[in-house]
């Protein structure tokens, strides 16, 4: 069994080292090109990684080519934007067969939704004084031809000196409930979960502690996510409070969810780095890499649709 196979990993979440199943590249709002991200992971001792760019798998092929000669395990993935009870919820799809089936069309729809949303965000930001908001946001992608995200608008606001920094841009204009927080374009939570399942992937609820929910509301979200076909939840996302993690583990255990781990890394130089996570508590929650649809990944080259035709 090659060491890169997910089945070679520990059977206990607390012993998972060198694993990071949530990271971004220049295919969405990350700063590093996919190959550079893979190189950084390798340098930091991350051996098993998933590339999970927002609403796209565009960076996966480059990441895979970079990972193979380094003997690393690269699991294709994406982080889908959705809505649930008026909250913007993110669902990571871990995709051993890449994007296929309903997910293929879903990603096309997500790109269109992002374009339409950008126009609404631009109009709203123009009202608060950001002239040519759409063009200015487009200038923030470093020449990448990709749909825009809120971080591009945040950078444009900073550049126009309407706010001192990105954090203030989100706090005043782009964060939850602010004028630039436009959610209506996203599909419902259940829909994006169905896409992931149709592609033969595992749907993972991303960073459950970052939605500003009470424990009770998070429980309702977990119930609905489970009903929709969601099977895993990020038990640890980057750095988080140890007491909250233990409590979250109980909520996952009660519902029989698998647990995932990811840094949500976007750019070097900040507090978050690939593979850097808060401690994972001893828990009965089963690691997502033991999920039957993922366990065989990396043991042999996965056969994709295009190869079997």
Site string for ligand AMP, 271-300 (x = CB under 6 A): ------------------------------
Site string for Mn ion, 256-285 (x = CB under 5 A): --------x---------------------
* Choices 69-77, 131-139, 163-171, 248-256 (CB under 6 A): range interacting with ligand AMP: 163-171
* Between 175 and 200, CB nearer to ligand AMP: 175
Asked if 231 interacts with Mn ion (CB under 5 A), we say no
* Choices 25-33, 213-221, 249-257, 293-301 (CB under 5 A): range interacting with Mn ion: 25-33
Among 3, 108, 135, 167, binds ligand AMP (CB under 6 A): 167
3-state secondary structure the chain: CCCCCHHHCCCCHHHCCCEECCECCCCCCCCCCHHHHHHHHHHCCCCEEEECCECCCCCHHHHHHHHHHHCCEEEEEEEEEEEECCEEEEEEEECCCCCCCHHHHHHHHHHHHHHHHHHHHHHHHHHCCCCCHHHHHHHHHCCCCCCCCHHHHHHHHHHCCCCCCHHHHHHHHHCCCCCCCCCCCCCEHHHHHHHHHHCCCEEEECCHHHCCCCHHHHHHHHHHHHHHCCCEEEEEECCCCHHHHHHHHHHHHHHCCEEEEECCECCCCCCCCCCCCCCCCCCCCCEHHHCHHHHCECCECCCCHHHHC
Asked if 170 interacts with ligand AMP (CB under 6 A), we say yes
Residue nearest to ligand AMP (CB): 149
* Interface positions, 72-91, toward ligand AMP (CB under 6 A): 81
Asked if 175 interacts with ligand AMP (CB under 6 A), we say yes
Place of tokens 């487009």: 138
* Choices 11-19, 134-142, 148-156, 196-204 (CB under 6 A): range interacting with ligand AMP: 148-156
Place of tokens 């640890």: 236
Asked if 149 interacts with ligand AMP (CB under 6 A), we say yes
* Between 84 and 289, CB nearer to ligand AMP: 84
Asked if 20 interacts with Mn ion (CB under 5 A), we say no
Asked if 266 interacts with ligand AMP (CB under 6 A), we say yes
What's the CA gap between 32 and 216, in Å, rounded?
A: 37
Among 48, 146, 150, 207, binds ligand AMP (CB under 6 A): 150
Residue nearest to Mn ion (CB): 90
Asked if 29 interacts with Mn ion (CB under 5 A), we say yes
Asked if 238 interacts with ligand AMP (CB under 6 A), we say no
């Amino acid at each position: 069994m090659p060491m890169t196979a997910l089945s070679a990993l520990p059977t206990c979440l607390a012993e998972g080292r060198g694993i990071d199943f949530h990271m971004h590249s220049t295919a969405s709002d990350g700063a590093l090109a996919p190959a550079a991200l893979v190189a950084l992971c390798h340098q930091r001792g991350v051996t098993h990684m998933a590339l999970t760019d927002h609403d796209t798998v565009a960076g996966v092929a480059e990441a895979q080519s970079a990972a193979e000669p380094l003997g690393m395990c690269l699991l294709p993935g994406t982080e889908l934007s959705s809505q649930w009870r008026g909250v913007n919820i993110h669902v990571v799809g871990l995709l051993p067969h890449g994007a296929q089936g309903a997910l293929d069309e879903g990603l096309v729809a997500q790109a269109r939704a992002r374009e339409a949303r950008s126009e609404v965000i631009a109009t709203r930001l123009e009202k608060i004084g950001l002239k040519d908001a759409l063009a200015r946001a487009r200038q923030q992608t470093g020449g990448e031809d990709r749909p825009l995200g809120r971080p591009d608008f945040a950078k444009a606001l900073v550049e126009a000196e309407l706010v001192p920094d990105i954090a203030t841009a989100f706090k005043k204009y782009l964060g939850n409930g602010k004028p630039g927080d436009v959610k209506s374009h996203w599909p419902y939570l259940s829909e994006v979960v169905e896409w992931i399942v149709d592609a033969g992937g595992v749907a993972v609820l991303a960073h459950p502690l970052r939605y500003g929910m009470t424990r009770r509301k998070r429980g309702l979200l977990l119930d609905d996510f489970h009903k929709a076909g969601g099977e895993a939840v990020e038990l640890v996302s980057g750095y988080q409070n140890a007491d909250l993690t233990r409590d979250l583990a109980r909520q996952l255990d009660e519902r029989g969810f698998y647990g995932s781990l990811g840094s949500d890394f976007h750019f070097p130089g900040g507090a978050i780095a690939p593979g850097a996570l808060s401690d994972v508590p001893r828990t009965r929650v089963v690691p997502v890499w033991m999920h039957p649809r993922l366990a065989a990944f990396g043991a042999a080259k996965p056969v994709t649709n295009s190869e079997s035709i």
